[in-house]
Structures are given as C-alpha cells and as structure tokens.
Chain A
Amino acid sequence: MDIFKGIDKVLPHLNYTWKRHKVILSNIANADTPRYKAKDLIMEKEGGGKLKTTREKHLFTKGEEIYKVIELQRRLIGNDLNNVSLEEEMAKLSQNRIAYETYMRMVRGSIDKLNNIIKEGR
C-alpha cells in the first residue's frame, strides 16, 4: 500500500542487517573451530538500474535484493587454518547493531506519523 511506502523502503535494509547479524554470530561461535573461514553477507539488487557495478559494494535502485554469503580473505591467524578475528567481528557486530537500530527508528518514525494522522493530530 502507498501509505506504507516509508516502511517498504527501509524493510530490505532491515532484513539485510538482521541476516548479516546472524552471519557475524556464526563467525563468533566458530572462532575456535579448525579450518573455519570467516564469512560475511553482501546485498545485491537483481537486474540493477542503468549503472554498471564494478565493485561488490555498489548499490542499485531497482530490482529484487539477493543476499550472498562470501568468504573473507584474511591473513591466517593461528595455525589451525581459522581466519576469524574476534575483535573485528565484535566491531562489525556493534556497527551492524547501530545500523539495525537506525532502520528500526525509521520504521518507528513512519508508524508514529501514520498514528498521528489517524488520530487527527490529537
């Protein structure tokens, strides 16, 4: 519906941050697992707009979002072939959390706005 346009715009990003949160959790849980490779999630738009993508972090404005799990290329840490860096994962976790809360606040904002209109500003 048109009145939920504000929420619909934020929703893919909200979805993405939640999914990425779980990938980061997996990395932290497997910080001591031999041969585990750290992973990350990237969001891409299918079909894309008119712009060409040359980097994996480029954004589009049209099309469906697809999520891709990638393995991080990091130098080896330790001799168990595990390349999870706990500090980096914790940093990503709090960064991701702030992003999530920002999107949540945007959703909250549009809901409050609708509420205000429904109540005729009273």
Chain B
Amino acid sequence: MNDLFKAFNISASGMYAQRVRMNVVASNLANYESYRANGEPYRKLEVVFEAVEDPQSLAKGEIPVNVAQIRFSDEPFRLIYDPNDPRANAEGYVQKPNVDLVKEMADMITAVRSYEANLNAFITTKEMAQRTLELWR
C-alpha cells in the first residue's frame, strides 16, 4: 500500500514545486515597480529545484522533486531615464526592479505545462490503481 502512495507522492511533489514557481512568478509580476523598505528596488525571486536523490530512492528510480530554496536574483537592476523621479540619480537615471516581464511570462507558461503533465500522470496512476482494486469484485 505504501508502494502505491509513493507513486502519488512523486506526482504530488512535482505539482507542488510547479505551484511554488507560479506563486513566485506572481510575486515578481506584482512587484514590477516596487521598492523595498531600505530604498533599494525589489529583487526578483528565483526558485531552485532539486531532485531528492538519496541512494535508496536512486536504486528504485523513485525520485521526487524538492524546492531547495527561493533566493534573490543578483541580476542588474533596470535603469530608466526619468529626471523628474525623486529617486533619480545625478545623471537622471532611476533604478527599477530586475524583473523581466517576458522572462516571467515564459516561466509561467512552462510552470503551467509542467503542472498539467504531472496532473495527467497523477490521473493515470489513479486509474491504474482503480483497475487493480477492481480485482476484488
């Protein structure tokens, strides 16, 4: 029985990881123009995935995915010329968050597709398990 739930856990870990990524994309898009409390522009968040590859799971090939960390990106900030902005520097440039709209949208589409793939795999597992349970009848 544990063996059966293991299969569900693998797909569930994949769906969870993709959902975390969706949340991070949403935060990045929402904070496209934000500044932090210390006056610095908002830094883009990045999700780091990691395969749970301990020897036991590796031998069986059952490898769930894990969200290792969510970290601040150190990409350079966007520079926009706007001398009227109170945050503008001596040359009239304003630093804006390092969020790239195009990258975020692409990331979002990938996350949705991966989520769907995991969901379909989950449904397949469920139907196979039901087929097994039909042996009782």
Contact = CB atoms under 8 A, between A and B. Distances in A.
A24 interface: yes
Contacts of A23: 60-62
A26 B51 CA distance: 9
B95 interface: no
B49 A25 contact: no
Given A22-B10, A107-B135, A41 B118 contact: no
Contact of B49 (A32, A94, A111): A32
Nearest to A107: B135
Interface string A10-52: 0000000011011111101111111110011100000000000
Contacts of A108: 134-135
Contact of A28 (B11, B49, B131): B11
Contacts, number: 103
Q: Is the interface of B mostly helix, strand, loop or mixed?
A: helix
Interface stretch (B23-31, B34-42, B86-94, B120-128): B120-128
Interface string B1-42: 001001100110110011001000000000000000000000
Contact of A86 (B11, B111, B117): B117
Interface in B31-65: 48-51, 58-65
Given A28-B117, A104-B135, 5 more contacts: A25-B14, A26-B63, A32-B49, A94-B124, A104-B132
A93 B121 contact: yes
Nearest to A35: B51
Given A25-B11, A28-B117, A33 B49 contact: yes
A111 B135 contact: yes
B6 A30 contact: no
